Structure 1
Amino acid sequence: MSQSVVPAVEEKQLDTSSTLTFEEYRFYQSNDDVKYELYKGKLIPLATATVLHIKICEYLVYKLQRYLAEYNLDLVVKTGLGVRTEENSSRVPDVVVCTQSLLEQAGARPGGGILDLDETPLLVIEVVTQDRRRDYITKRGEYQLANVPEYVIVDPTENRQRVRVMAFLEGDEIYTEVNYLPGEEMGSVVFPNLRLSVNEILDPPLVEGLIKAEQARLQELRHQTTTQRERADDEHQRTERLAAKLRELGVDPDAV
């Protein structure tokens, strides 16, 4: 586990025929299947997700949803939700955690689902794709400037595997980062009781299998509860039969 602070630099923009305002981007409809982010008015295409990328995101959503439910937190975990970071910049993190009220505010507006500048999420997660610089440097600077409390980078790249957690420590105005490596457990500043295996994050099991195992445990628990109830009922019936027999013999069972 290591700590360091890295300055942010700007990302190279994609040359497009026009510059969009944030409002134009919210209503932008592309003529292809590519999803875009907005960086200083320029459209930035998002790479098509690999299967591993998809599995990592689904695993993190699953784990975070269970954590929020366990601690009864009025928060939501979403994919595909935009986060505006600057006047004419907006990102689409792989995973976003925010309050339910912020999600409803974003949903009440026409256009794309994007949290505005005054609607700061608690946590954003990016899974590294081909453009490492974008995730490690450019987006770090944007999320830090937007005062996102915690930014997590999951990097499954061979020979560079890590989970980097960046957060504001008390009184700080810049992120402090911690790298969690394979064999360790990832920690969180925003959710201090959250502990996740780095190995599982980088090579996650299928969420469908986790849900099946979860359901199997619930069924086993129900079975155990039913069995205990049946045993208690049987014991009660035996006690009642014994009491009735004693009364037939003229013995008060309560006095025995």
Structure 2
Amino acid sequence: MSQSIPPVLTEQPVDNLPTLTFEEYRFYEGELDVQYELYKGKLIPMPIATVLHTKICEYLVYQLRRYVVTHNLDLVVKRGLGVRTEENSSRIPDVVVCTQSLLEQAGARPGGGNLGFDETPLVVIEVVTENRRVDYITKRAEYNLADVPEYVIVDPAENRQRVRVMAFLEGDDIYTEVNYLPGDEMESVVFPNLRLSVNEILDPPLVEWLIKAEQAQLQKAERLAARLRELGIDPDAV
């Protein structure tokens, strides 16, 4: 474990893009099909996601939504939702978990969907792509200073496979990190009953297959319940 935050490295913005305030960023319309983050007033184009990146994100959204529904939590799990981290900086994490009321507040404002300074999500997740220093160092510092309770990094690179969970422990104001490696089960601090296989996170099954498997189990349970009723047995009493 480590509680130190390395120095923040400066990202390399595209020089021909304008410098914007956060409010200008919320209404900025750039190239079609290009998402931009805002870092210290400069626009940062986000790389096109790989198939593996997309599968990991969809798997995490699926598992987190199942957890939220199962535990009857007033939370939502979203992709594409911005999180303001500094005066003129805003990130678009791969996955964001926040309250439904915060999502509605963001949705009621004109412009792009961004959570403000006083609208802190519970969990943000980043899947490492091209510039791992940004995810491991720059964004870590931003999310820490923005008081995001839990920041998760998923790194699927062949020589660095891990899931790093960073969270505030009681009384701390800087992140404590735990690395989970292949063969481990990742544990969340914010959601203590949530445990996910690191192997599945790094090489996830298709969500469509998971849904089909769930539907098959439900159909099997329904057939069993119907058979019990035919025999005069209340399936709810078994």
Bucket of the pairwise TM-score, normalised by the shorter protein: over 0.9
Distance 1:4 1:162, change over 3 A: farther
Show CA shifts across 1:185-222 (max 9, x none).
00011000000000000000000000000000000000
Letter in 2 for 1:95: V
Counterparts of 1:4 and 1:162, CA distance in 2: 18
Give the Cα separation in 1 of the matches to 2:180 and 2:31.
40
Q: Name 1:155's counterpart in structure 2.
A: 155
Write the letter of the residue equivalent to 2:31.
N
Aligned 8 A contact 1:5 1:177 in 2: no
Q: 2:222 corresponds to which residue?
A: 222
- What letter corresponds to residue 145 of structure 1 in structure 2? L
Q: Give the partner amino acid of 1:201.
A: I
CA distance in 1 between counterparts of 2:7 and 2:122 reads: 20
CA distance in structure 2 between the partners assigned to 1:31 and 1:212 by the alignment: 37
Counterpart residue identity of residue 206, structure 1:
L
Structure 1 position 34, deviation (Å): 1.4
The answer for the alignment partner of 1:113 in structure 2 is 113
Aligned letter for 1:6?
A: I
1:65 aligns with 2:65: yes
Q: Is the 8 A contact 2:3 2:175 kept in 1?
A: no
- Across the aligned residues of Structure 1 and Structure 2, the Cα RMSD in angstroms comes to 1.1
SS at match of 1:208: helix
Aligned residue pair count: 232
Give the equivalent residue in structure 2 for 1:241: none
Partners of 2:65 and 2:230 lie apart in 1 by 34
Question: Taking structure 1 as the reference length, what is the TM-score of the superposition?
Answer: 0.88
1:9 is aligned to 8
Name whichever of 23-32 and 80-89 sits farther off.
Answer: 23-32
1:103 aligns with 2:141: no
Q: CA deviation at 1:159?
A: 1.1
**Structure whose CA Rg is larger:** 1
**Deviation at 1:17?**
4.3
Secondary structure, counterpart of 1:232 in structure 2: coil
Q: How much does 1:114 deviate?
A: 0.4
Q: Please tell me the residue identity of whatever aligns with 1:189.
A: V
* Deviations 1:107-145 (CA, angstroms, capped at 9, x unpaired): 000000000010000000000000001100000000000
Task: Map Cα deviations across residues 204-251 of structure 1 (whole Å, 9 max, x no partner).
Answer: 000000000000000000000000001117xxxxxxxxxxxxxxxxxx
State how far apart, in whole Å, the 2-side matches of 1:144 and 1:28 are: 26
- Counterparts of 1:31-50 in structure 2 under 5 Å? 31-50=31-50
Q: Secondary structure at the match of 1:55?
A: helix
Q: Match for 2:146: what amino acid? A: A
Q: Deviations over 1:63-121 (max 9, x none)?
A: 00000111110000000000000000000000000000000000000000000010000
Q: Where does the alignment leave 5 or more consecutive residues of structure 2 unmatched?
A: 234-238
> Which residue does 1:245 correspond to in 2?
none
- Superposition misfits of 4+ residues, deviation over 6 angstroms: none
Change over 3 Å in CA distance of 1:209–1:17 after alignment to 2: closer
One-letter code of the match for 1:10? L
What is the aligned partner in structure 2 of residue 192 from structure 1? 192
Looking at structure 2, the residues matched to 231 and 73 of structure 1 have their Cα atoms a distance apart, in angstroms, of 38
* d(CA) in 2 for partners of 1:155, 1:227: 47
Indicate the structure with greater helix content: 1
Asked whether the 8 Å contact 2:17–2:43 carries over to 1, the reply is: no
- Is the aligned partner of 1:27 residue 2:61? no
SS of the aligned residue for 1:119 comes to coil
Secondary structure at 2:105 match in 1: helix
Q: Which runs of 5+ in 1 are unaligned?
A: 234-256
Distance across 1 between alignment mates of 2:182 and 2:170:
28
Q: Tell me if the contact between 1:4 and 1:178 (Cα under 8 Å) persists in the aligned partners.
A: no
Percent of aligned positions that are identical: 75
Cross-structure match for 2:236: none
Residue aligning to 2:81: 81
TM-score, L = length of structure 2: 0.95
